[in-house]
Structure 1
Amino acid sequence: MIDLVAVLAVWTYIGGFLWLTARLAKRTGEPVWLFAKGRERQTVPATLFRVAFLFGALLPLFTLWLEPQAAGWLLDRHYSGAAIRFAGVVMALGGSALALYAQHYMGKSWRIGAAEGHLGTIVDTGPFSMSRNPVFVGQIVLFAGLVLVFTSVLQLTVAIVLIIAVMLQVNIEERVLTKELGPAYVAYRRRVRRWL
């Protein structure tokens, strides 16, 4: 049952992410997917995010349905104790909820990637008063939870790929936001931590 709940957490997050993004794009008529726009090259983090979420969504399903002998060592599940697996599913659910809540909270400022001339206003209330990147924090917690539930070398690798994508993207976004929003964003950076 814990495995199924963890699978639902990641699929619910991906579905919610896509739905909120499509809804915003339709409402505003503004570009929301900005990885291919702007002067900053975002190809590497964009590709890493796609790989992480593709494998993050599919790997738990394969792990559930494949016999351990068929899965091989990459998917070999080193079963953790019930308490660790329960903590993992709580993290997956909590991370998914945090990321979706923070994305929704951004409202019209939500963007995927960062490009000059396509930014919203600074959101510095709610979850953004505690972290400049609560969506990314939620995603990392979600993937860390999946590692605890589906303990395998490949699941850990997927989580590491996500973390690398997040680190690269945050550096790009902070450069663009500093250039575009100037002193207001610099003041926000001083007030609120990058992560927690």
Structure 2
Amino acid sequence: MYRFLAAAILLCFYGTYLGKMLCQRRRGIQTDQMAKGDKPSSVRRTELVMKVATFLLAAVQAVSVLCGWSMMPVSARAAGAVLGLVGDGIFLAAVYTMRDSWRAGIAQGQNTQLVHSGIYRYSRNPAFLGFDVMYLGVLLLCFNPLLLLCTLFAIAMLHRQILQEEAFLPTAFGEAYTSYCRQVRRYWGRRR
């Protein structure tokens, strides 16, 4: 039962990610900007390591599900199923709300819009939040030491990517982005 739920959560999440990329590609939009373009070497390096971390984690998640690895009690796996589904929902809402402004990585020179509606009214980084919540859910569903290490590493790299994107966005959107940061928190919540 829990293996099926974990597989469904992963298929929904990665299906949404890849489906969105394919839809944008058909319209001539290059979604994957990770470690591409004229970026400072530290940004390219972080994006490359993050890309490797997410591919590695996806592989470890798949193996963990296929092998039925889980060292957690039923109650923790149930909580993991809920978290995984919530993470999928957050990610789906973020991707839908971004429409054609969604990119993976810093998109220098791309014509995108600052999105601050929908789920972006409550989180500046809901796609990354969706990643993190889904990762934690699958970790609880299929807990094993290798998955724990890969999950923590991927979450740390996602946070580093967020910091780099937030350093870049004021140059792309100016005061509009700075004002948005004053109103909405990085992960979740509005400021008073």
Q: Tell me the TM-score normalized by structure 2.
A: 0.87
Relative distance call for 1:52 and 1:6 in structure 2 (3 A) is farther
Q: Partners of 1:111 and 1:61 in 2: how far apart?
A: 25
Is the Cα contact below 8 Å between 1:48 and 1:165 reproduced in 2? yes
| Deviation sequence 1:128-156 (CA, Å, 0-9, x none) | 00000000001000000111111111111
Q: Is the 8 A contact 1:48 1:161 kept in 2?
A: no
Task: Tell me if the contact between 2:114 and 2:177 (Cα under 8 Å) persists in the aligned partners.
Answer: yes
Deviation per CA, 1:68-101, whole angstroms, max 9, x where unpaired?
A: xxxxxxx6x42x2211110101111210221122
**Deviation (angstroms), 1:109:** 0.9
Residue in 2 aligned with 1:194? 186
Alpha-carbon distance between aligned partners in 2 of 1:65 and 1:185, rounded to the nearest angstrom: 43
Q: Which residue does the alignment assign to 1:38?
A: 38
Q: TM-score, normalised by structure 1?
A: 0.86
Structure 2 letter corresponding to 1:38:
D
2:8 is matched with which residue? 8
Unaligned runs of 5+ in 1: 68-74
Q: Does residue 173 of structure 2 align to residue 172 of structure 1?
A: no
Counterpart CA distance in 1 for 2:7 and 2:53 is 15
Q: Does 1:86 align with 2:78?
A: yes
2:24 aligned with 1:21, yes or no? no
The answer to which of 130-139 and 48-57 deviates more is 48-57
Q: Within 5 A, what are the aligned runs for 1:51-66?
A: 51-66=52-67
Deviates more, 1:115-124 or 1:101-110: 115-124
Once the two structures are overlaid, the 10-residue window that deviates more, 97-106 or 41-50, is 41-50
Kindly report the root-mean-square deviation, in angstroms, between the aligned alpha carbons of the 2 structures: 2.0
Aligned length: 186
CA pair 48-5 structure 1, distance change in 2 beyond 3 A:
farther
Return the alpha-carbon distance in structure 1 between the equivalents of residues 67 and 137 of structure 2: 21
Structure 2 CA distance, aligned partners of 1:115 and 1:62?
Answer: 32
Q: Distance in 2 between matches of 1:34 and 1:61?
A: 25
| Structure index of larger Rg | 1
The DSSP-based 3-state class of the residue aligned with 1:3 is helix
Match of 2:103 in 1: 111
* More divergent stretch after superposition (49-58 vs 164-173): 49-58
CA apart distance, 1:119 = 4.6
Q: Percent identity?
A: 27
Secondary structure of 2:30's counterpart equals coil
Q: Which residue of 2 aligns with 1:49?
A: 50
